[in-house]
């Protein structure tokens, strides 16, 4: 039997890969699939697949004030060993989905370990001719002291 994160990742991949059927999905279902796809791609540290999912205009901002564009983010990917998502809310307007949620993760960003407890996130996704892409992401977690 697959563990819950693996099941969620499989469902997310299937949902997001079938563009026409995602139009009928609820914003929460679609938002959850997109969030898990993003987190799984980062965890897998696959710059080619992640690069295809990141919008050319992608930006990330963190609670410590650091920020990255698509290209700089792909050069130094964070290390995510594990993660859990809770409290996801999503809204959709046409081809845009905004998801707010909390993540607890074991992660290292730029060589610094981050706190493991739940911290808020917000991600914006857009449906493009190439499929769904993440346009922006904010991570309100902070490095460990």
pLDDT tens profile 67-96: 999 999 999 999 999 999 999 999 999 999
Q: Any long-range contacts for 115-121 (C-beta under 8 Å, 24+ apart)?
A: 115/141, 115/142, 115/143, 115/144, 118/84, 118/86, 119/63, 121/35
| pLDDT score, position 20 | 42
Give the tokens for residue 64. Answer: 């410590």
pLDDT, average across residues 51-74: 96
| pLDDT score, position 24 | 73
Is the pLDDT confidence value at 14 over 50?
A: no
| pLDDT score, position 119 | 96
The three-point CA angle 67-31-37 to 5° equals 65
- Taking only the tens place, the pLDDT of each residue in 22-48 is 557 999 999 999 999 999 999 999 999
| pLDDT score, position 69 | 98
- Taking only the tens place, the pLDDT of each residue in 112-129 is 999 999 999 999 999 999
Q: With pLDDT > 90 as the criterion, what percentage of the chain qualifies?
A: 78
CATH architecture designation of domain 4-139: Roll (3.10)
Nearest to 46 by CA among 25, 83, 74, 19: 74
């Amino acid at each position: 039997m697959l563990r819950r994160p693996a099941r969620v990742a499989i469902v997310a991949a299937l949902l997001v890969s079938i563009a026409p059927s995602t139009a009928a999905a609820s914003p929460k279902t679609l938002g959850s699939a997109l969030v898990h796809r993003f987190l799984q791609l980062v965890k897998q540290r696959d710059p080619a697949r992640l690069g295809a999912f990141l919008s050319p205009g992608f930006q990330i901002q963190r609670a410590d004030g650091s920020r990255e564009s698509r290209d700089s983010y792909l050069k130094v990917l964070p290390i995510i060993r594990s993660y859990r998502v809770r409290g996801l809310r999503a809204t959709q307007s046409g081809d845009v989905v905004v998801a707010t949620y909390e993540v607890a993760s074991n992660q290292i960003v730029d060589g610094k370990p981050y706190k493991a407890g739940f911290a808020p996130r917000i991600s914006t996704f857009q449906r493009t001719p190439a499929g769904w892409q993440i346009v922006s992401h904010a991570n309100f977690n902070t490095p460990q002291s």
